[in-house]
Amino acid sequence: MQLRDIFPQVVPRESAGATSSDRFEYQRDWALCTLLKLHDSGADYLMAFDLHEDVIVFDSGDNPTGIWFYQVKTRKGRYWTVGDIIRPKANSTLSTLAKLFTNYLYFPLYTRELSFVSNNLVNFSQSASTGNANSVAFSSLSSSEQKKMIDAVREQCQTASDPDLSLIRFNVAPLSLEDHVSHATGKLAEFLERLSPTKKFRVSLVYKTLAAEISRRNNHSDPLASFVDVQTKKGIGRVGFAGVLQQMGAFEDYDANWQRIENRLNTEAVSVLEIEILKERFFTMEAKRTDTENTSLFNTLRDLDAIVQRVKTTSVSTTLAGALSEILSFARAEFRSSVPVDDYDIKALALMCWYETRQLSPTDSSPSEKEA
């Protein structure tokens, strides 16, 4: 059987449960920064949340052959000690390290790395200080530290022989505990600039949307019947991430689009008052569009876009204002149920659809998509 068939059948050890708000927000921002790195790499991936571990990464969104497990912890003040990570937690027979290792027991053929991630260092002996102290492999630890970990995991996981802990790595996250939101927002700004250097993004809105997407998937608790459920309900992959950005209009230059709209409406002698109202609604709807959970708005936008594209090819009107009137008339007649927007909102959304360039992330769009 393939990994995509096996994975949904293995019941997770536990969920994060009552994770503190501060810790989850740190975990979420670490995941977001890691997601940006994965997307930048150009390789396929699927990141999933609170599923066997705090964060896991598959090497493919469709047919994965490997998994990276990340246990993300926070600690104020002092370093972690070896004792901290091998001592069983309260009301549990397993320590932090043993819990991390159980992922290998579930998926021995597919586990590529077991990573303990924290804002603080694990205080290993000097013999472990070879290479980068912010990323320490189990193999670089002193023999005494290795033995302590092996003995603890063997006893707690009740393995017949000494467990192979060679896949374990201890990483210090580059996010500070006090300023992780600013760090993640900064990394997102750099990422978006690389994708579209000429576009001015509302980075804070994009950040809030992506943070909400991660939170929604993290908090999904219904049983997963198949790997498709992992993809759509608990994870974000390359295609899905690009889709979220496109859905919220992240690659649209709304300032430039509005300028084109305003210039045309001015030439058609539309009143200053109406233009000002349309402008206010246009940018209000742009902001609301970043809320990808606003299904009512997205359903309205989808239905309205179909009307706009039809009017574009069939309208006898020679003015944009006249076309907007036609679109409004069709919308009110064709929408199956009342929508939570007024006539100006519909016109603003119609203008958004009319002038949308349908841009995709440059790294995710094919030549045919760019030309469409």
| Among 297, 119, 291, 298, residue whose Cα is nearest residue 216 | 291
Sign of CA dihedral 351, 353, 359, 364: positive
Which residues touch 124 (CB under 8 Å, ≥6 apart)? 82, 136, 141, 142, 145, 170
**Main-chain dihedrals φ then ψ at residue 88, nearest 5 degrees:** -55, 145
CB 258, CB 357: distance < 8 Å: no
* pLDDT tens-place values along the chain, 372 residues long: 899 999 999 988 765 444 567 789 999 999 999 999 999 999 999 999 999 999 999 999 999 999 999 999 999 888 899 999 999 988 889 999 999 999 999 999 999 999 999 999 888 885 455 556 789 999 999 999 999 999 999 999 999 999 999 999 999 999 998 899 999 999 999 998 888 777 677 788 788 889 988 999 999 989 899 999 999 999 999 988 988 887 776 667 788 889 999 999 999 999 999 999 999 999 998 878 777 667 788 788 888 989 999 999 998 889 999 999 999 999 988 876 555 678 999 999 999 889 876 544 434 433 333 322
Does the pTM surpass 0.85? The reply is no
Question: The dihedral of CA 303, 309, 314, 317: what is its sign?
Answer: positive
Gap between the Cα atoms of 123 and 78, Å rounded: 9
Q: What is the spatial order of strands in the sheet that 67-73 belongs to?
A: 135-137, 168-172, 111-118, 67-73, 53-58, 46-51, 235-237
Measured between alpha carbons, how far is 234 from 216 in angstroms, rounded to an integer? 8
